[in-house]
């Protein structure tokens, strides 16, 4: 149980393109999902918290107009990197919790490798 799926697993595109990444909870409903960014050999940095039916909460320093988040259903959150540039190249990972109770683990997708040429 607690499977989180991301799509696509890898994207290579030209600078200026907008890229959408999907995060789905396959066997549970998730009111809250989280989006992370990870550079090579570094830790995961939380970008934003995606809330079903409401606006996402962004971490300090993350541009909300650059990284658009939509959480339209209890099983799907999307992250759109708008007008992507080479510095946006990174590994983007989403997670979700199976319960809204406090102190529950997050379950992660397998990430999306974004490469901007």
Which residues make up the interface to another protein (CB under 8 A)?
4, 6, 32, 34, 42-46, 49, 93, 95, 97, 102-111, 113
Q: Single out the residue of 9, 10, 67 nearest to residue 34, CA to CA.
A: 67
Of the pair 14, 53, the CB lying nearest another protein is at 53
Q: How far is the CB of 19 from another protein (least distance, A)?
A: 18
Of the two residues 45 and 83, which places its CB atom closer to another protein in the complex? 45
**Under 8 Å CB-to-CB from 36, ≥6 apart: which residues?**
44, 45, 46, 47, 92, 93, 94, 95
Least distance CB 68 / another protein (angstroms): 20
Q: CA 81, CA 114: separation in Å to the nearest integer?
A: 10
């Amino acid at each position: 149980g607690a499977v989180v799926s991301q799509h696509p697993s890898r994207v290579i595109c030209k600078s200026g393109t907008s890229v959408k990444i999907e995060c789905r909870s396959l066997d549970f409903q998730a009111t809250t999902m989280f989006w992370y960014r990870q550079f090579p050999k570094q830790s995961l940095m939380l970008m934003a918290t995606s809330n079903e039916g409401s606006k996402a909460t962004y971490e300090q320093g993350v541009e909300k107009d650059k990284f658009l988040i939509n959480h339209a259903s209890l099983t799907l959150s999307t992250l759109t990197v708008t007008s992507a540039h080479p510095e946006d190249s990174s590994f983007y990972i989403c997670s979700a919790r199976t319960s809204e109770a406090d102190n529950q683990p997050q379950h992660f997708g397998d990430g999306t490798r974004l490469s901007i040429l």
